[in-house]
Chains A and B, each alone.
Chain A
Amino acid sequence: MKGTILSLIESGNGAATPESLDTLHFAMDLGARTGNSVTGMVLCAPGTTADLESLPQWGVDIAVLQNPLLDRYTAEGYTAVIRTCAEDTGASYICIPHTSGGNDFAPALGALLRTPCITAVNEIRGTGDAPLFTRTIAGGKLEADISPLAYPAVLTVSPGAHADCIPHPEKRNRCSEKHVTFALNNTLEVSRTCAAVASSDLLSAEVIIAAGKGVGTPEQMELLRDMASLFPRASIAGSRGACDMGLVDYGLQVGMTGKTVSPKLYIACGISGSPQHIMGMKNTGTIIAINRDPDAPIHHIADISIVEDLKVFIPQFIETVRNRGERSS
């Protein structure tokens, strides 16, 4: 499909977010495949474009869309502004980071445009007029190639789906500022707070023993704690499902809505391996998966897989290690 590719640049802590750079790189790849130009969109209040300084020089157009109401994210505002921008530019694709902001409004944008919204895209397949977009389905067990049948197609891009793009200092970005008009009819107040979190040793742990829903009961959670005691500098963690079941504190949650960890060793126990969980732990040194379901997607990213019921395997493993007296300290 011909037409400009729009790519949303979100900012946080005064700089473009890493997810936005991933998304921009995805958009540039899509642009190269389809022969389309890419425009990065920054939505902000007038006079707050300092974030642009942090953008690598990739030789792309940057549209700075300004309105005092864009001093903070609102689903209503972002949907209205990006919809207008897409219609004005005759956009072919709208690439949005797969984040708590992007996921909040991208489906609404697709519904209003009567075009597809394909969320958590991992990969582009093919070149030419109609490349396909790959996402995981069936709890991560399958992946599907999807073709949009209406444009502009709205895509949310999985973090890390694209490796870092090398900046080209000689290719300066071309920025243009534009005032945009819209009204917030339904959003009356917006503010943000940061929850106070108890300090945990999760981020500094060298070994993480992580529980999933498959752990099932507090008694079996004790098995994981016993296993953790075999390792120095080990911490317990959990998937969202394990936290929801009350097996693990939310402060120890790993994944998209929890923490991102990169220990030397991550032992995933009874974790199926949803993309949301994997986002939080894929940069681990060695991943071990203990899950009785041979089709669980966690086995696809594990370095070492054990297809076994954890309540049988973990006691056996603890005994084996203790018998060998190999415990390090």
Chain B
Amino acid sequence: MKILICIKQVPDTEAKPVLCENGRGFFYDPARTAFRINRFDEYALEEALLLKDAHPDITIDAVSAGTPAVLPSLRRALEMGAGSAYLLAADPDAPLQGTAAAHCIAAFARSREYDLIFTGVMSEDDMGGITGPALAALLGYSWATSAVRQTPGDGTIIVERELDAVTREHLTLRLPAVLTIQSGINRPRYPSLSNKLRAKAMDIPVLAVDTSRVPVVERTEAVRHSRSKGTGIVIEGKTAEKAETLRSLLHGKSLL
């Protein structure tokens, strides 16, 4: 069985986005920003690694669409246990989000005939949740989002989806299939030393993306800082002063 994991590299939660002067884009200062694998994609990778632990003949490839800046996250996927990793090189000025990323990955995956493709339910930064279902549609595969359990069988896969806090959907889908993996369903492993050494020596092929085959379907016209709803106050002062101000405010509202 061949499994593909789609990985996105994201900035750390506390990273500070900087607006471009033209107001149509933003970037992160690479010197001041830590980047890592999207947390949801780590759960997707771990889910594949657990399958491989049980069935060692499974092969796992990792892929990311982006610039060479995302290579560290692909290296990390190799360290965790992916067998190979590929970078689909994109134009640095045209970040590949959502549908565009799905078109790139579909072009890569089509001839490789994966049985299963896992990715995170969404990215932590854009929260679009587009890549998985869009990729499945382009490849003509089955799909399910927000998977919390999956059991591949002979030509089919049983999937449990999380719909809300209490409701689960149980599906039997024909393979090949794309699943987007919900967070918290496993515990992504730390790379072993031997895997780290193995990954260090591995080549990550960089494949050019034929952008003429990626339809441009949307354009970002403006980006700005999220607005405050405008009624909140920020308590200033030293820690003890802030604590006293908060106590007094809560007391005034009869909440304490």
Report whether B215 and A150 are in contact in the complex, using a CB–CB cutoff of 8 Å. yes
Q: Are A144 and B166 in contact (CB under 8 A)?
A: no
Residues of A within 8 A of B137 (CB): 79, 107-109, 111-112
Q: Contacts A105-B133, A111-B102, A302-B232 known; A264 to B17 CB distance under 8 Å?
A: no
Contact A308 B133 (CB under 8 A): no
Q: Are B218 and A149 in contact (CB under 8 A)?
A: yes
Among residues 249 to 264 in chain A, which have CB atoms less than 8 Å away from a CB atom of chain B? Answer: 250-251, 253, 257-259, 264
8 A Cβ contacts from B83-132 to A: 98-99, 102-103, 124-132
Residues in chain B near residue A317, CB distance under 8 A: 243, 246-247
Q: Indicate if the CB atoms of A316 and B132 lie closer than 8 Å.
A: no
B161 at the interface (CB under 8 A from A): yes
Residues of A near B194 (CB, < 8 A) are none
**Interface 1/0 per residue, A297-329 and B, CB below 8 Å:** 101111111111000110011011100101110
Cβ contacts under 8 Å, B134 to chain A? 107-108, 110-111, 117
Interface flags, A204-226, vs B, CB<8A=1, else 0:
00010000010000000000000
Which chain A residues lie closer than 8 Å to B200 at the CB level? none
- Is there a chain B Cβ closer than 8 Å to A138's Cβ? yes
Q: Measured between C-beta atoms, what is the minimum distance from A3 to chain B in Å?
A: 16
Is the CB of A103 closer than 8 A to any CB of chain B? yes
Q: In this assembly, does A199 line the interface, its C-beta being within 8 Å of a C-beta of chain B? A: no
Distance between Cα atoms of A115 and B138 in the complex (Å): 12
- B226 pairs with A326, CB closer than 8 A: no
Does residue A276 face the partner (Cβ distance < 8 Å to B)?
A: yes
- Closest residue of A by beta carbon distance from B255: A265
A61 within 8 A of B: no
In the assembled complex, A75 has its CB within 8 A of some CB on chain B: yes
Annotate B165-193 by CB proximity to A: 1 below 8 A, 0 otherwise. 11111111110010000111000000000
Query: Residue B62 at the A interface, CB < 8 A?
Result: no
A70 within 8 A of B: no
Q: For the complex, what is the distance from the CA of A77 to the CA of B103, rounded to whole Å?
A: 22
Residue A53 is within 8 A (CB to CB) of chain B in the complex: no
CB distance from B175 to the nearest CB of A (A): 9
Q: Given A137-B126, A326-B251, are A145 and B221 neighbors across the interface (CB < 8 Å)? A: yes
Segment touching B, from A21-29, A41-49, A166-174, A182-190: A182-190
Tell me if B198 counts as interface (CB < 8 A to partner A).
Answer: no
Contact at B242–A308, with CB atoms within 8 Å? yes
CA separation between A191 and B162, bound complex, in Å?
12
| A116 touches which of B99, B143, B163, B174 (Cβ 8 Å) | B99
- Give Cα A66 to B41, complex, Å: 37
Whether, in the assembled complex, A84 has its beta carbon less than 8 Å from a beta carbon of chain B, the answer is: no
Q: Which residue of B lies closest to A258 (CB)?
A: B165
Query: Count of A-B contacts with CB under 8 A?
Result: 267
Contact A139 B13 (CB under 8 A): yes
B195 proximal to A (CB < 8 A): no
Looking at the assembled complex, report how far the CB atom of A197 sits from the nearest CB atom of chain B, in whole angstroms.
6
Tell me, yes or no, whether A76 is within 8 Å of chain B by CB: yes
Task: Provide the residues of chain A in CB contact with B174, threshold 8 Å.
Answer: 185-188
A320 to B239, CA, bound (A): 11
A195 to chain B minimum Cβ distance, whole angstroms, is 5
Check A137 against B223 for contact (C-beta < 8 Å): yes
B13 / chain A contacts, CB cutoff of 8 Å: 139, 213, 272, 293
Are A240 and B183 neighbours in the complex by a CB distance under 8 Å? Answer: yes
Q: Please tell me the number of chain A residues within 8 Å of chain B, measured between CB atoms.
A: 100
Measured CA separation A91–B146 after assembly (Å): 29
Chain B residues 14 to 48 lying within 8 A of chain A, measured CB to CB, are 14, 16-17, 19, 26, 39
Contact between chains at B171 and A189 (CB < 8 Å): yes
Closest Cβ of chain A to B139, distance in Å, is 10
Is A120 part of the binding interface, using a Cβ–Cβ cutoff of 8 Å?
yes
Instruction: List, in ascending order, chain B residues with CB within 8 A of A145's CB.
Output: 220-223
Instruction: Say if the beta carbon of A119 comes within 8 Å of chain B.
Output: yes
Q: Is the Cβ of B167 less than 8 Å from the Cβ of A192?
A: yes
How far, in angstroms, from A197 to B165 measured CA to CA in the complex?
Answer: 9
Q: Which of A123-138 contact B (CB under 8 A)?
A: 132, 136-138
B184 touches A120 (CB 8 A): no
Q: Roughly how many angstroms separate A264 CA and B182 CA in the complex, as a whole number? A: 31
A139 touches B218 (CB 8 A): no
B216 in complex: contacting residue of A105, A149, A195, A305, CB < 8 Å: A149
Alpha-carbon distance between A304 and B221 when the two chains are bound, in angstroms: 32
Contacts of B235 in A (CB 8 A): 304-306
A233 CB → nearest B CB, Å: 11
How far is the CB of B6 from the nearest CB of chain A, in Å? 13
| B131, B242, B250 pick with most chain A CB within 10 angstroms | B250
The reply to whether the CB of B55 lies closer than 8 angstroms to some CB of chain A is no
* Given known contacts A111-B134, A137-B223, A275-B127, A304 and B233 CB-to-CB distance under 8 angstroms: yes
Which residues in A have some Cβ–Cβ distance to B below 8 Å? Answer: 73, 75-76, 79, 100-101, 103-112, 114-120, 132, 136-150, 153, 185-195, 197, 207, 213, 230-231, 240-241, 243-244, 250-251, 253, 257-259, 264-265, 272, 274-276, 286-288, 293, 295-297, 299-308, 312-313, 316-317, 319-321, 324, 326-328
A-B contact pairs, 8 of them (CB 8 A): A76-B142, A100-B163, A117-B134, A137-B223, A141-B226, A147-B218, A192-B170, A317-B247
The 9 closest A-B CB pairs, nearest first, are: A108-B137, A244-B184, A111-B134, A186-B142, A116-B218, A189-B172, A107-B130, A107-B133, A320-B243
